[in-house]
Amino acid sequence: MSRAELRYDGRVAIVTGAGSGLGRDYALNLAKRGASVVVNDLGVDTRGRQAAEGSESSAQAVVREIESAGGKAVACHESCATRAGGAAIVQAALDAFGRVDILIHNAGFLRNGPFESLTDEQIHSIMDVHLLAAFYVGQPAFAAMKQNGYGRILLTSSASAFFGMPWQTNYAAAKLGLAGLVNALSLEGQAHGINVNALLPTGSGRLGKGDSDMDWPDGLMASVPAGMELIAPQMRNEFVTPMVMWLVNERSKTTHGYYSATAGRFSRIFIGAARGWLSDAMNPPMPEDIEEHMAEIDDISRYDIPLKVFDEFEPIVAAQRALLEGKGD
């Protein structure tokens, strides 16, 4: 079967943190398939400290690579973690290419540490670069997309946020905050042709290598499952980028989703509400009733996936109706 190539001709993409790692791979691949790309990178190390760069910045090096392959790109060295920087990044796209179609917010770094000793600096810098940057770049980008009635926004979340990782409370909170942003913004984007999703990648960028320079609790690796050598070869950017390319393509209608691209396994991650336990309609329960029914409350063998606040009411209404009609189970 011949498959129509996914193309990005005429599309303008902004990729934050595109000077290295995963972001670089997205920028190169988008440009290869026709997109004009704003390669945004501040050039910092894995803890967010200014990295020593040579005569050419990492963003300029990516632009040079794209241009020498015949593609179109501009470098932008503003920080996506400030309001002014975010505005400047979007303005760079408008100045160079006249529109914004795709935003991939990917920039970031880590400031791990035990919860009780995280400093304000460790907390705020992580919130700024992962979560607030999605507002700083996202708001002007969304406004520009709205004008064209088209947009694809992909925010980079993390398995650490959805599933948990010690010494990353700052990072996990920021990254899961992006899921909330996806939930609300995807609804706002619907009327304007703007799709909004999040990605949980496992790649070969600097933040995925279990950097020995990074702070981790002792014994963390003891809980890694056996057989990791079977999937280690797929833990690289080439096994992440295809998912990203699909989600930001015109043919993809997917919105309001979180997708994991991990070691060659591509999978939707979802938030569900267990069917739970329905209390007596006339008598508010006692705390002891909650204790008594915890097994039902915790039972995730039956669940719904609400995609907006009102969706959560539907199964409750149905269960209440069934009870009233004497058909409850």
Ligand X SMILES: NC(=O)c1ccc[n+]([C@@H]2O[C@H](COP(=O)([O-])OP(=O)(O)OC[C@H]3O[C@@H](n4cnc5c(N)ncnc54)[C@H](O)[C@@H]3O)[C@@H](O)[C@H]2O)c1
Q: What amino acid positions are annotated as catalytic residues?
A: 171
Which residue among 156, 168, 186, 255 contacts ligand X (CB under 6 A)?
Answer: 156
Which residue among 12, 41, 93, 248 contacts ligand X (CB under 6 A)?
Answer: 41
Query: Is 158 a residue that touches ligand X (CB under 6 A)?
Result: yes
Query: Is 198 a residue that touches ligand X (CB under 6 A)?
Result: no
Place of tokens 């939707």: 268
Q: How far is CA 158 from CA 74, 174, 259, 262, 314, in A?
A: 28, 10, 10, 10, 30
When the beta carbons of 234 and 320 are compared against ligand X, the nearer one is 234
Query: Is 35 a residue that touches ligand X (CB under 6 A)?
Result: no
Place of tokens 């990917």: 106
When the beta carbons of 194 and 240 are compared against ligand X, the nearer one is 240
When the beta carbons of 12 and 81 are compared against ligand X, the nearer one is 81
Question: Closest distance between ligand X and the C-beta of residue 22, in Å?
Answer: 4
Residue at 192: amino acid letter:
H
Tell me the pairing of strands 257-262 and 265-269: antiparallel
Query: Is 60 a residue that touches ligand X (CB under 6 A)?
Result: no
* E-only strand ranges, the chain: 12-16, 36-40, 72-76, 102-105, 151-156, 194-202, 257-262, 265-269, 273-274, 303-304
Label residues 194-215 b or e (16+ Cβ within 10 Å = b). Answer: bbbbbbbbbbbbbbbeeeeebe
Distance CA 234, CA 242 (A): 13
- As separate numbers, helices (DSSP H) first and strands (DSSP E) second, the chain gives 12, 10
Question: Closest distance between ligand X and the C-beta of residue 237, in Å?
Answer: 7
Q: State which of positions 105-124 bind ligand X (CB under 6 A).
A: 106-109
Question: Closest distance between ligand X and the C-beta of residue 20, in Å?
Answer: 4
Which residue among 12, 27, 30, 40 contacts ligand X (CB under 6 A)?
Answer: 40
Interacting residue ranges for ligand X, rule: CB under 6 A: 16-17, 19-23, 40-44, 46, 48, 58, 79-81, 106-109, 129, 156, 158, 201-203, 205-208
